[in-house]
Amino acid sequence: MTATASFARSIIETSDQIFVLLKQWLVSFLPAAWQPAAGVVLCVAAIVGLFPALFALTTVLERKGLGRIQNRIGPNRVGPLGLLQPLADGIKSLTKEDIVPARADWAVHFLAPLVLVVAVFMGFAVVPMGRNLVLVDMDAGLLFYFAMGASTELAIFMAGWSSRNKYSLLGAMRAVAQMISYEVALLLSTVVVVMMAGSLSLTKIVAAQNQYTWGLPHWYIFTPWGLAGFLMYAIATTAETNRSPFDLPEGESELVAGYHTEYSGFKFALFFLGEYLAMFSVSGLGATLFLGGWSAPFSFLTWVPSWIWFFSKLMLSIFVFIWLRGTLPRLRQDQLMNFAWKFVLPMTLLNLLVAGLWRFMGEGWERWVLCTAILVVAYVVMGRMGMRREHFGPRSYRYAE
Amino acid sequence: MSLIFYLIAALTVAGGLAAVLLKNTVHCALALTVAFAGLALLFLNLDAQFAGFAQILVYIGAVAILVVFAILLTKGSETPQGGVFSRTWLVGLTAAAAVFAVLGWAVIASAPLLPKAATPATAATSAMVVTPAPAVPPAPAVTVEQIGRALAGRYVLPLEIVAVLLTAALIGAVIVAMHEKEEAK
Amino acid sequence: MMGQITPLAGYLLVAALVFSIGLAGALTRRNAILVLIGIELMLNAANLNLIAFWRYGPHPELLTGMIFAIFSIAVAAAEAAVGLGLVIQIHRHARTTDLDAINRMKG
């Protein structure tokens, strides 16, 4: 009996740590001096290989999902169920001519997609994708993540400016203005998690949520401030990744395609890749911060390998992204900015106060009632103020002329 | 001094030089971000993780973006027709060279007093030599928590003042840049 | 002399070089934004000095230099925002950002 139990436990342990063990086994063929460096190279290669593969899968899922939402079938010609569509798309984009506009700034035009993709890939380094499955467990992991995320804005500006095309430039300026506005809300919405976990290290944040009461996990989303923070985080990241309904920077009906209008072939594919990688990256971070990262949703399911939970949460969030894209109409520029500065930002600031209140009220039901009440009242009041119909006059320019 | 230090230092100085020498203003701003990134790497090389990431977040994520926005709003993104240097450039260059000469002389002259590399040999010799230079301490393991405690404890007053300053700067920048229509005045 | 250069001296020399480059940029360029870029470089060089002295100073555990650098980064961000706001306002008023052309005290 005990032998079977220990055997089962070792099976669970092995399947949970399979990637870590695989890495150790592969590295053990090398001389001892090379092992740490080889381990890092292997992990980087795994990340660089895995997420583009996920990207290929997601493009099919997105096109099929959008097709279903719009009462179409979606791609179904290449391979079984159209699953080989990304292969065809990839070959197409690789064999296309790489066009650089005659008056473009070729050096900046060349560097922009590279900077974007590298900066986005860097973010994955600190996200724990399973138990012990993190490239670098940094003490300031969250700060590193946001530092890398901030660098992508400059890449978008570089792309738009260097193309010497007014639609590209307009798209880039829209994108940068939008990303800066929502970045404030994004950072502030994650601060509540840092306040509660007491650490910027993402592994510690997951460890703080990996506890169970009555079989239910202590995920931060199951608290009033956590739920509010998660919703604000979801809104801010949707805007940050330029996804619909916040896809004004690439609004094809107004701006052709925004900052990547003048890109073709492989460089365009890099932008496309960067956008989806950013989506995976923010989904992974959101799962880590609010949905318990790699921890199981019920205590009796902890035997399922941790990385399966992480990637299920990630794919669930990708599904929501696709769903939103198929459902919501695009916002106007002024609505977008008003929403960021007059609704999301005040709510995140209020949420900080609520989180502090939660912390100092101690255990008990009072804090649940009070914190929920404050957030709901603020939501209703600010929502009503924002929904008021305003008088629209002729357009006036305040900062740019 | 390690090779990594020389590489990062070269990158930083090259970025800085390009930022002040290039003709096109947007290129200058992009070169400036290279210099910022180099300085952030130097901070990381000095075991100041938090300051290095804060440098990237604030300078590359915010200040560089502000600079390029300002360049585009002032129609400065085209290469200017005339010269890019001021009429009094010679005076400025002389002043800068003089400042560098003084700073460099000060560093070189005080080099024997500065901490040496932390090898046991130098520590032993410096103890015997007449002018003892303190050995380099091992890298202090600074956690973010320590920085947080220092900010909320010993340095809480400066923190509050910075908060007030940032709020004032935010309001001030908006008021300065805001443009009311003539009839609104 | 260069043979026995210490780590601290190396960082201080880089900081001095960046500071001088920034000063030269601020004093010689015409465009007001480029002058601000020069000032940013100078501030960054000062930050490098602070961090280097924190790392190689006698009491790194007190975090004085590091905290000073973090405050300095915050203040520099405020300075950049106000400075660029002023440049935009000057451009709106004088239709140029050429500092040689902006030479009137009276608007």
SS3 per residue for C46-83 = HHHHHHHHHHHCCCHHHCHHHHHHHHHHHHHHHHHHHH
Q: Which residues of A3-36 are buried (b: 16+ CB within 10 A; e: fewer)?
A: eeeeeeeeeeeeebbebbeebeeebeeeeeeeee
Query: CA B176 → CA A396, B59, C84, distances in Å?
Result: 18, 22, 10
What is the Cβ-side half-sphere exposure of residue A339, based on CA atoms within 13 angstroms? 15
pLDDT of amino acid C4: 57
* Residue among A242, A192, A200 nearest A350 (CA): A192
For the segment B88-135, what is each residue's pLDDT rounded down to a tens digit?
778 888 888 898 889 888 888 887 776 655 444 444 444 444 444 455
Q: Which of A151, A158, A401 shows the shortest C-beta gap to B30?
A: A158
Q: What are phi and psi of A339, to 5 degrees?
A: -60, -40
Please report which helix (H) or strand (E) contains residue B42, including its range. Answer: helix B25-45
Give B62 or B77, the one with higher predicted confidence: B62
d(CA C104, CA A222): 62
CB atoms B177 and C85 under 8 Å:
yes
pLDDT value, residue C18: 92
Model pLDDT, residue A218: 83
Are the CB atoms for A108 and B30 separated by under 8 Å?
Answer: yes
Inter-chain CB pairs, A–B, below 8 Å: 73
Please tell me the distance in Å from B106's CA to the nearest CA on chain C. 10
ipTM, interface predicted TM-score of the complex: 0.86
Do the beta carbons of residue C39 and residue C83 sit within 8 Å?
yes
DSSP state of B136: P
Q: Does residue A214 sit in helix, strand or coil?
A: coil
Higher pLDDT, C99 or B104: B104
Q: Give me the pLDDT at residue B119, please.
A: 43
Q: What CA–CA distances, in Å, run from A227 to A31, A112, A220, A231, A300?
A: 49, 36, 7, 6, 24
User: Which DSSP helix (H) or strand (E) runs through A212?
Assistant: strand A212-213
Reduced DSSP (H G I as helix, E B as strand, rest coil) percent helix, strand, coil of chain C, to 5: 80, 5, 20
Instruction: Show me where the domains of chain B are located.
Output: 1-82, 85-118+135-141, 155-185
**Quick one: pLDDT at residue B116?**
56
Specify the pLDDT at position A29.
81
B-C C-beta contacts closer than 8 Å: 261
- A150–B60 CB contact, under 8 Å: yes
Residue C34 has pLDDT above 70, yes or no: yes
Is some CB atom of chain C closer than 8 A to the CB atom of B39? yes
pLDDT tens by residue, B147-160: 888 888 888 999 99
Report the candidate in A225, A161, A189, A176 with the shortest Cα–Cα distance to residue A337.
A176
Domain limits of chain A?
Answer: 41-86, 96-385
pLDDT band at A395 (very low <50, low <70, confident <90, very high): low
pLDDT tens profile A117-176: 999 998 888 888 888 778 888 888 899 999 988 888 888 888 888 888 888 888 888 888
d(CA A136, CA A355): 29
How confident is the prediction for chain B on average, in pLDDT?
79
Class of domain B1-82: mainly alpha
The mean pLDDT value for B134-142 works out to 62
Identify the residue among B86, B167, B179, B181 best suited for mutation to test binding to C, counting C beta carbons within 10 A and taking the highest: B86
Q: pLDDT tens-digit profile of C62-75?
A: 788 888 999 999 99
Q: Which of B53, B143, B145 lies nearest to residue A144, judging by beta carbons? A: B53
The overall longest dimension of chain C from CA atoms, in Å, is: 57
pLDDT band (50, 70, 90) for residue B161: very high
> Can you tell me the distance from the alpha carbon of A397 to that of C92, in angstroms, rounded to the nearest whole number?
13
Distance from CA of C64 to the nearest CA of B (A): 9
- Which of A289, A265, A272, A285 is closest to A355 using CA atoms? A289
State residue B110's pLDDT score.
81
B18 alpha carbon, distance to own chain's centre: 15
**pLDDT > 80? residue A70:** yes
Nearest to A161 among B53, B77, B145 (CB): B77
Please list, in sequence order, all residues whose beta carbon lies within 8 angstroms of the beta carbon of residue A251, skipping any fewer than 6 positions away.
A258, A330
Higher pLDDT, B125 or A12: A12
pLDDT given at position B128: 42
State the average pLDDT over residues A9-26: 80
Mean pLDDT (whole number) for B22-33: 88
Question: What pLDDT does A348 receive?
Answer: 92
- Give the nearest chain C residue to B163 (CA atoms): C74
| pLDDT confidence band for B87 (50 / 70 / 90) | confident
Please, where are the H alpha helices in A70-165? Answer: 85-95, 106-123, 141-162
A168-214 pLDDT, tens per residue? 888 888 888 888 888 889 999 999 999 888 888 888 888 888 888 88
Cβ neighbours of residue C3 under 8 Å, at least 6 residues apart?
none
* Span of A14-18, A274-278, B8-12, C52-56 with lowest mean pLDDT: A14-18
pLDDT at A212: 82
Banded model confidence at residue A108, pLDDT cuts 50, 70, 90: confident
Q: Average pLDDT of chain A?
A: 84
pLDDT value at residue A400: 56
Q: Which secondary-structure segment (H or E) carries A217?
A: strand A216-217
The verdict on B156 touching C (C-beta cutoff 8 Å) is no
Strands A212-213 and A216-217: antiparallel
Q: What is the pLDDT of residue C106?
A: 64
